[in-house]
Structure 1
Amino acid sequence: MANTGLLKRLGKMLTEDLENVEEERVQRESEAANVERATGAQCARDCSRGDEAVMIGELRSVETCSRNTHSGVRAEFFDGTDTVLLKWMGRNRIPGIEPGRRLTVRGRVANADGMKVVYNPEYELHADE
């Protein structure tokens, strides 16, 4: 009867909203990486303005902003629970910072335009799997 569980999971995956499946996948991987690396990482949803945070997740998008006073690299970081904008000021490119890349970030959480932001975060790139 082991196949029954497999069939239930497969049926759930086929009928469940793909975004929810992706969120659950990222959250599971982030939690597993936290246990493996013993970083003491927290969920992005639990971070608030002023917190010094350590989070594990992946980059959904990365863009370079070259406007005069706002130059830098912006990345959308997601850990399965919430999205945090990462901003590296004064940089036009950061090797390894690319969409889909998994990483651990450390920094103080701020709030800008109603969104969580970490400016110039420290980061550790995870090995590609």
Structure 2
Amino acid sequence: MANTGLLKRLGKMLTEDLDEIEDERVQRESQAASKDLADGAQCAKDCSRGDEAVMVGELRSVETCSRNTHSGVGAEFFDGTDTVLLKWMGRNRIPGIEPGRRITVRGRVATADGMKVVYNPAYDLHGDDD
């Protein structure tokens, strides 16, 4: 009865919240990509203030500033488990940092306004074929 499994998956897809499906997709892809890293990567939900972290996920949104403001570039990073704000200070734009982009980030986790933040993270952009 191979069709039973297919019917269960189809039923789940039709009744499950689209955000939950998207979160599971991002989490699966992030975990698969982190296995390729020599050091491995942490889940964002497991990272705490002060931790030196390596995380793999995707950028959900990106905010840039005008040349006059110099407040930096901010991006919402999500790995399927938690959201982390990435903040590059003194930059008004960073090529390749755009919504939907898969990325590996490295840096020390801080907190600001109750949210996890990594300031000036090192990063590797993932191509469409990764």
TM-score, normalised to structure 2, is: 0.93
Query: How far off is 1:39 after superposition?
Result: 3.8
* Equivalent position amino acid for 2:5 in 1: G
Q: How does 1:1-129 map to 2 (within 5 A)?
A: 1-66=1-66, 71-129=71-129
Query: How far off is 1:65 after superposition?
Result: 2.8
Query: How far off is 1:70 after superposition?
Result: 5.6
Gaps (5+ residues) in structure 2?
none
* Equivalent position amino acid for 1:106 in 2: R
More moved, 4-13 vs 41-50: 4-13
* Equivalent position amino acid for 2:35 in 1: V
> Distance in 2 between the 1:70 and 1:56 partners?
27
Please give the secondary structure, in 2, of the residue aligned with 1:40.
coil
> Distance in 1 between the 2:39 and 2:125 partners?
13
Runs of 4+ in 1 over 3 A off after TM superposition: 66-70
Q: CA RMSD in A?
A: 1.4
Query: How far off is 1:36 after superposition?
Result: 2.6
Query: How far off is 1:67 after superposition?
Result: 8.5
Identity of aligned residues (%): 85
TM-score, normalised to structure 1, is: 0.94
Please give the secondary structure, in 1, of the residue aligned with 2:36.
helix
